[in-house]
Amino acid sequence: MPIEKIKNALKDENTQGEALAIYINEFDHFEIARRLNEFSKDDKVQIFHLLDNDSKRHALLYETDMDSRMEIQETLDKDYLAQLLDEMAEDEATDIIQEHSNETQVELLSKMEKQDAEVLKDLIQYGEETAGGLMTPEFNQVQWNQPAAEIFTKIRQESDSDTQPYFYVVDNQNKLLGFFKLRDLLNAPASALAKEFIRPDTPKIRVSDPCEKIANVMSQEHLSILPVVDDSNVIHGVVTFDDVIRGMEDIASEDIYTMVGTAKVDPFAKKTSSKLIARAPWLFTTFIGGIISAWILGAFDGTLSEYAAIILFIPFVIGLAGNVGIQGATIIVRGLATGDIQDDNIAYIIKSEILVGVLNGVIFGVLCGTLIGLTAEVLLNTDPILGVVVGTGIILAVSVAALVGSLTPIIFINMDIDPAISTGPIITVANDILGLAIYLITAKFILAAF
């Protein structure tokens, strides 16, 4: 393994600086960046400085985890760090500078070239996972009155640069009029003006649109680049497919880790103390839920003592209700993220999910209740009424779980909280408590009636 070899080389006192630099630069610096968290702070800094060019240092800083990136930047002279940011792609430099305090941001921007600093200032104001935060301000902008021959000549003059396949036509106020592809330009007469061969129906996104919506539009329109406009239809940049993929990976990882109540980002790069701090609050939520559940069991001690067989089915009822609740919450959260759920269909979808949950509760309630009722005397040596208790408890508990699971994401959105957390420990604990309480209340009433 290359990383293990680098670790051994750093520990070997016989490996001199120049030889070590050659050794490190032989390996893929992207792989080193991915595993950089495994090194000590001194080794991280040493590896960074031993890379043989700033291009590799840019990649190492951007691709590694945030903790390692901050440890390296703390040792760098602010003038040199500003120079590195100046040379990086604007969207990447923006991601890095946003991790610093406001004071440090101001200091770094003051040391950068004025034009680049102004671009970063504009990008910093947008959220990291929005179109504004993901966009790059470098794109093919064409004035509406430019002739095709002039545009083509400019492309040939810039043949050494990576030319994007889309060209965006703007008016005198930089408002987006449409776009055309390179093949449209090649098929246009040399004297034709840009406005004469544009595609007026231009898929676009707003600076505040989330990453999920960008990915959805790209998928629907089959485009790898989308223009980013403000409320006045002025174009500010473009978002590329690779930026969206990276953003979606970060969002997916954050959602998955949040679902299980752990660190939102860089879980493998976190120190033990950081992991403990990140996870303890979620476990405390489970701890509180356990105490409440124990209190509920204590409140029904009399019923449990007289009819101990109902205890056997508590895990079954709670597990079934919890799964139905998480299913509903996951469907709603995913629909909100992809844009499939909108204001005009959200009520219909929520009703549909609740209905599915209730019907599942009825199906499994009747099935389990009947099975338990028929076998109670033979297998459990108890009254067949247990089947009615368990069946009714399942129907009610699952129905409530479907209601909670479907509505919780909407409640979280209205509270400006990421709805992804509704599928994590909070909704699980809530369903456990409600499921247990409903089951035991149902048991008490039915057994008292009979």
Instruction: State pLDDT tens for residues 241-268.
Output: 888 887 777 666 666 666 555 555 555 5
Task: Give pLDDT, residue 143.
Answer: 92
Tell me the CA distances in angstroms from 449 to 120, 214, 368, 445, one per residue in order: 71, 58, 21, 6
Q: What is the mean pLDDT of residues 76-96?
A: 87
Alpha carbon distance 376, 384 (integer Å)? 5
Which two tokens mark 394?
A: 């399942």
- The residue ranges of DSSP E strands in 13-72, in sequence order, are none
The band of 272, judged by pLDDT with boundaries at 50, 70 and 90, is: low
Task: Give pLDDT, residue 361.
Answer: 92
- The residue ranges of DSSP E strands in 59-202, in sequence order, are 141-143, 166-170, 176-181
Least confident residue range of 16-30, 69-83, 97-111, 151-165: 151-165
Convert the pLDDT of each residue in 225-247 to its tens digit: 999 999 899 999 899 888 888 77
Element holding 405 (H helix, E strand): helix 385-414
Task: Give pLDDT, residue 441.
Answer: 92
Dihedral of CA atoms 440, 441, 446, 448 in degrees, nearest 10, equals 100
Alpha carbon distance 241, 218 (integer Å)? 8
Task: Give pLDDT, residue 18.
Answer: 74
Q: What is the mean pLDDT of residues 308-318?
A: 88
Task: Give pLDDT, residue 263.
Answer: 53
Q: Could you say which DSSP state residue 28 is in?
A: -
Residue owning tokens 């544009």: 198
Tell me the CA distances in angstroms from 416 to 235, 343, 413, 422, one per residue in order: 28, 17, 5, 12
What's the topology of domain 141-257? CBS-domain (3.10.580)
Q: Which residue has the higher pLDDT, 249 or 173?
A: 173
Q: What is the mean pLDDT of the chain?
A: 83
Alpha carbon distance 439, 411 (integer Å)? 25
Task: Give pLDDT, residue 35.
Answer: 84
CB 37 within 8 A of CB 70: no
Say yes or no to pLDDT of 136 above 80: yes
Say yes or no to pLDDT of 161 above 60: no
Residue ranges of the domains in the chain?
2-126, 141-257, 272-449
Angle between helices 346-375 and 314-338 (to 10 degrees): 160
Task: Give pLDDT, residue 115.
Answer: 83
Q: What is the pTM of this model?
A: 0.61
Task: Give pLDDT, residue 437.
Answer: 93
Say yes or no: do domains 141-257 and 272-449 share a fold: no
Q: Which residue has the higher pLDDT, 221 or 356?
A: 356
User: CATH classification of 272-449 is 1.10.287.110, yes or no?
Assistant: no
Write down the architecture of domain 2-126 according to CATH.
Alpha Horseshoe (1.25)
Task: Give pLDDT, residue 240.
Answer: 87
Q: How many CB atoms lie within 10 A of CB 374?
A: 12
Alpha carbon distance 285, 429 (integer Å)? 8
Q: What is the mean pLDDT of residues 181-192?
A: 88
